[in-house]
Amino acid sequence: MKRLTAGSVIDGFEVLECVHAGGMAHIYRVAHAANAEGTRRDSAFDMVMKIPRMTAGDGAENIVSFEVELQILPSLEGHHVPRFVAAGDLARTPYLVMEYLQGHTLEHWLDRPTALEPSEIARLGAAVATAAHSLHRQNVCHLDLKPANVLIRPDGSAVLIDFGLSCHAHYPDLLAEELRQAVGSPIWISPEQVVGVRGDPRSDVFAIGVMLYQLATGELPFGEPTTQGGLRQRLWMDPAPPRRHRPHLPEWLQEIILTCLAPVAAQRYPSAAHLAFDLSHPDSVRITERGRQQQGAGFWVHFKRWVRAAGLQYEPSPLPSQQIQEVPIVMVAVPHQDVRDETLHALREAVKRSLGLRPGARLACVTVISGSEISSTDADNSETSVHRWHLTRLQQWAKPIDIPGHQSSFHVLESGDVAGALLAYARGNHVSMVIMGAATHGLQMQRFVATVPIKVAMDAPCTVVLVKPSLPFALLDDTGPH
């Protein structure tokens, strides 16, 4: 199809200008065309029309990827994807009309002449991971995440675009059926995609790791491979540690990036929500040798991986939403005032049960203090020391919860609205389950005034488990020494 000119009208949409001419599609600003009386129908937002390239020299993947996006985009919803408007079929004029979004792609930050601060890298990465998590909850894997396909809104949130290579768990995978080859952008494609496995949300985590590596170092972790053999190297090869390029990068950032880039999907973050959590709370990142190294793995490590990869049999991926449910972020709200031992004991037991049923789940221990608690302390007791005291108390409370394979973090929030602070934390950190005591002080007023647990249970974006205080006094021997 030849390139459209301004003023062209297709199915009631008037072309305004071409805003992008890519290898697979052209994108035009459009508006509702004027009717016979010369008036236009208003639109709630600006729109663009995407038309695939279909000349004799273009590959079949252009048509297939258009069909994929036509299948997936109308099913998506939320703040992190453009809104779908209309579509035309292949038999006549293929096009997609969608929301036109303001902002810069990640390429804008990669093109900057000066290195980004680690906090800025973490902010951008957390925004992308949050957007990917929103997709995965809808059983969609993007599978072509790269700087050109990530748009950062003025408010700092990320929008993912171009779903031509994506995979929806509930729809036929047209790319796998039609092309039967590795599909993806060579710089960002994951190891499992190289061998034909599609539909694992950790493939998107890998791509985010590549973008974080670019933002942190200005380099590409695996270069720009052009052959199948070059692509396969990422099944066993580690990139040079980011701190080898920039020695002053913090260890926590290298730990995060290299975890994303692990050759085996099971060794990466189990979900994009876990990645966003670490990027949002760098002080909670557990630093291992991976974060401290500057030389990378040696020959024998890579050789062993190569042998393993040569005979590796990949299994089909489960539903992305199912994978997320299996590795939730669990938040426990630990009170610090007017709290009885029975409540603290019951909360610990509930956390143990929850984590024991979900290997790989993450635990966030949270307590909320008020500003008055800090202002009421003497001059020698700074705000930092008050927070530190509460952090130490949280860590002591959690010591008996010793379940291998789980990562824990501790957070002291300051707010006069306890329920509001807990709800904001749960929403902002993609918490899947909140565990808290069934009642706080003021229990006798519950029929007249909603307590903190009731407020959280009513408005939480996730499952809330209210725990009744209990202590196993029956197990104690009253006849023994006290």
Across 149-163, 294-308, 338-352, 447-461, the highest mean pLDDT is recorded for 149-163
Q: Which H or E run contains 407?
A: strand 407-414
Most distant CA pair in the chain: distance in Å? 96
d(CA 280, CA 130): 11
Counting every residue, how long is the chain?
A: 482
- Three-state DSSP class for 245? helix
Q: Which residue has the higher pLDDT, 243 or 25?
A: 243
d(CA 159, CA 171): 22
Asked whether 273 and 427 are in contact (CB, 8 A), the reply is: no
Q: Which residue has the higher pLDDT, 107 or 378?
A: 107
- Three-state DSSP class for 91? coil
Q: What is the pLDDT of residue 61?
A: 74
Q: What is the pLDDT of residue 374?
A: 62
The Cβ-side half-sphere exposure at 258, using a 13 Å CA radius, reads: 27
Is residue 414 pLDDT above 60, yes or no? yes
Judged by average pLDDT, the poorest of 5-19, 173-187, 220-234, 395-409 is 173-187
**Cβ neighbours of residue 260 under 8 Å, at least 6 residues apart?**
205, 206, 208, 209, 210, 212, 268, 269, 275
User: pTM value?
Assistant: 0.89
Q: Which residue has the higher pLDDT, 201 or 471?
A: 201
What the block records as the tokens of 242 is 């980011």
Q: What is the pLDDT of residue 38?
A: 77
Is residue 160 pLDDT above 80, yes or no? yes
Place of tokens 């199809």: 1
Is residue 432 pLDDT above 90, yes or no? yes
Question: What is the CATH number assigned to the segment(s) 328-474?
Answer: 3.40.50.620
Q: What is the pLDDT of residue 373?
A: 66
Roughly what angle, to the nearest 10 degrees, separates helices 251-260 and 272-280?
170
Strand 407-414 to strand 433-437: parallel, antiparallel, or no bridges (unpaired)?
Answer: unpaired
Strand arrangement, sheet containing 47-52: 9-10, 13-21, 25-32, 47-52, 95-99, 84-88
Strand arrangement, sheet containing 150-152: 104-105, 150-152, 158-160
Q: What is the pLDDT of residue 471?
A: 65
Domain range annotation of the chain: 9-99, 104-323, 328-474
Interval 324-334: pLDDT, tens? 989 999 999 99
Interval 29-76: pLDDT, tens? 999 998 878 788 888 899 999 999 876 666 667 788 899 999 999 999
Q: Which H or E run contains 177?
A: helix 174-178
Q: What is the pLDDT of residue 236?
A: 83
pLDDT level of residue 441 (50, 70, 90 thresholds) = very low
pLDDT level of residue 314 (50, 70, 90 thresholds) = low
Is the CATH number of domain 9-99 3.30.200.20?
yes
pLDDT level of residue 398 (50, 70, 90 thresholds) = very high
Give percent above pLDDT 90 in the chain. 61
Q: Which CATH architecture is the domain 104-323 placed in?
A: Orthogonal Bundle (1.10)
Q: How many CB atoms lie within 10 A of CB 155?
A: 8
DSSP 188: T
Alpha helices in 261-328 (DSSP H): 272-280, 289-292, 299-310, 320-326
pLDDT level of residue 176 (50, 70, 90 thresholds) = confident
**Cβ neighbours of residue 32 under 8 Å, at least 6 residues apart?**
12, 13, 14, 40, 41, 42, 43
d(CA 379, CA 386): 12
d(CA 265, CA 320): 13
Is residue 395 pLDDT above 90, yes or no? yes
pLDDT level of residue 230 (50, 70, 90 thresholds) = confident
Is residue 124 pLDDT above 80, yes or no? yes
* Average pLDDT over all residues of the chain: 87
Judged by average pLDDT, the poorest of 108-112, 140-144, 156-160, 472-476 is 472-476
Across 22-26, 196-200, 213-217, 384-388, the highest mean pLDDT is recorded for 213-217
